[in-house]
Each structure stands twice: as C-alpha cells, then as structure tokens.
C-alpha cells in the first residue's frame, strides 16, 4: 500500500510540474507576440531590398547566422531571467524579418485580408494541434528524426531555388513547410505534456519558431493563390 501511495505521489508531482511548464509556455508565447508585432510594424516601414540586391546567398547566410546565434544565446540562458529578455529580443528581430513578406502582401489590393487569413490560419492550426497533443495518449517522440530530415531537405531546396527561381518549386516548398511546422508544433507540445521538455523558455522558443515559419509560408501560399492586383 505504501508503495502505491508513493507511486501515486510521484505521478501527481510529475503531472503538476508538466502542467506548470505548459501554462508558463503558453503565457510566455502570448507575451512574445507583443515584440513580434512591434518588430513587424517597424519592418514594414523599412527597405530590405538592399539585403538581397548583391548576393541572395550571402544575405540568407547572414540572416540564418543571426537567427541561430540569437537562438543559441536564448538556449544558453534559458535557466535564468536573461533568457526571457533575450527571447523577447529574438522575437522582436523575427518580427523585423517579417517586413519583406508583409510588404509584398500589402502591395495586393486584398493584402490586409491575406495577412489576416494567414494569422487566423496559424492561430487555428496552433489551437487544434495543441488540443491534439495535450489530450492524446499517443507519444509523438518517434516523429523527431522524420521532422529533422524533412527540415534539412527543405532547407536545401530553399537554397537551390535561390539559383533556379522556379515559382512552382517555391510554392511546393511553402506547402511542405506548412505541414512540417504543424508536425513540429504537435511534437513540441507533446514533449511538454509527456515530461520530455521541462524548460518553458526553450519550449516557447521552439514553438515560436515553428509558428513563425508556419505563418510566413502560409502567407506566401495565400499570396500566390488569392492575391489580387486590382
């Protein structure tokens, strides 16, 4: 009997800890939207054309290095208060990087509608995936290798398309990224629920990056399929 009580106590403790990480992650994720929106508003007013004017490859490498550098700093400080502030700085920068695609979207006559649809679609996808990952008994840990391989393949395809500039390939990449990011969100939230991720700063960082990519590529698809110039 004592052993059963002890096991039950451990399970209750783990469940309480998991729920706390999940609540903190959702709360921090909501707060990151503030610097993201501020960064996006500033990004829309800036001219990013010079970044890709000389060498798109170098520009892409520079952006990726900055993104991964900031992500590394957040990860290194994820166990102290600095990690939260660095995360806010990271999300502000990611908001700035939304500038070019938002400028392109808003150049359409129905641009505001496209941005709203992309934001709504991203939010709806997140809520649906979060509900599935939270309530299912299934363990999605086995998705890790598949998602990693998929991400590497997509990254290589993006680099290749900088040379070939094939519109159909660009749309295919965006469609694959949308599905891939949905998989990452499902996996990341399920990891929290099953106790595989105990640090809410890192959990927020991972989910945020997936949401950012999901929104960006969903907007790209909507621009291609529904954008109107009149």
As a whole number of angstroms, the distance between CA 88 and CA 94 comes to 10
Q: What is residue 230's three-state secondary structure? A: coil
Tokens representing 68 are 């991964």
Series of mean pLDDT values for 10-residue runs along the chain (230 residues): 45 66 95 97 88 75 90 95 96 95 95 96 96 87 90 92 88 96 95 88 96 97 91
Place of tokens 């959990």: 203
The predicted pLDDT at position 1 comes to 54
What pLDDT is recorded for position 230?
Answer: 73
How many residues are listed for the chain in this entry? 230
Q: Tell me the C-alpha to C-alpha distance, in Å, between residue 94 and each of 58, 98, 133, 207.
A: 18, 7, 26, 13
Question: What global pTM score does this model have?
Answer: 0.89
Residue 14 is predicted with a pLDDT of 46
């Amino acid at each position: 009997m004592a052993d059963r009580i002890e096991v039950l106590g451990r399970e209750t403790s783990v469940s309480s800890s998991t729920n706390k990480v999940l609540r903190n992650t959702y709360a921090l994720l909501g707060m990151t939207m503030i610097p993201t929106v501020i960064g996006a508003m500033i990004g829309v007013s800036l001219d990013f054309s010079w970044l890709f004017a000389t060498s798109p490859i170098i520009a892409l490498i520079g952006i990726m290095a900055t993104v991964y550098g900031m992500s590394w700093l957040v990860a290194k400080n994820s166990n102290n208060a600095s990690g939260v502030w660095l995360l806010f700085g990271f999300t502000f920068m990611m908001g700035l990087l939304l500038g070019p695609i938002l400028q392109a979207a808003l150049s359409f006559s129905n641009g505001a509608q496209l941005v709203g649809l992309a934001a709504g679609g991203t939010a709806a996808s997140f809520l649906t995936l979060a509900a599935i990952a939270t309530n299912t008994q299934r363990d999605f840990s086995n998705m890790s290798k598949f998602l990693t391989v998929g991400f590497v393949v997509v990254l290589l395809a993006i680099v290749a398309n900088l040379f070939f500039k094939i519109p159909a390939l660009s749309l295919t990449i965006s469609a694959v990224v949308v599905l891939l990011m949905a998989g990452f969100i499902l996996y990341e939230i399920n990891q929290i629920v099953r106790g595989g991720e105990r640090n809410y700063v890192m959990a927020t960082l991972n989910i945020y990056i997936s949401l950012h990519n999901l929104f960006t590529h969903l907007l790209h698809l909507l621009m291609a399929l529904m954008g109107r110039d009149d």
